Amino acid sequence: MFGWFKKQKDSDLKEANDLDFEDQIEEALWDVKEQFDLETEEVQRTVLNKRQNLDYMRKTLKRNI
């Protein structure tokens, strides 16, 4: 049931300007970063991990259907 739930490899972080927003969650993360003066690397890592996890879940669900 939870076969898709495993640690993914970390990928290289891109520059903040290279990342385009994919949804409102990512836009909100960057807004929070600016308001609370968070490190750019933390937000980049969170955004990239979210994208990777969603892609992996989509691929897994397509295989099982």
How do the pLDDT tens digits run along the chain, 65 residues long? 556 555 555 454 444 445 566 788 888 998 999 999 989 999 999 999 999 998 999 999 888 65
- How many domains are there within the chain? 1
Burial of 62 (0-12, 13-18, 19+ CB in 10 A): exposed
Question: What pLDDT, on the 0 to 100 scale, is given for residue 16?
Answer: 42
- pLDDT, position 12: 47
Residue 13 lies inside a defined structural domain of this protein: no
Give domain status of residue 49, yes or no. yes
pLDDT of residue 32: 93
pLDDT recorded at residue 63: 80
Note down the domain range covering 55. Answer: 38-65
> What does residue 8 show for φ and ψ, rounded to 5 degrees?
-95, 155
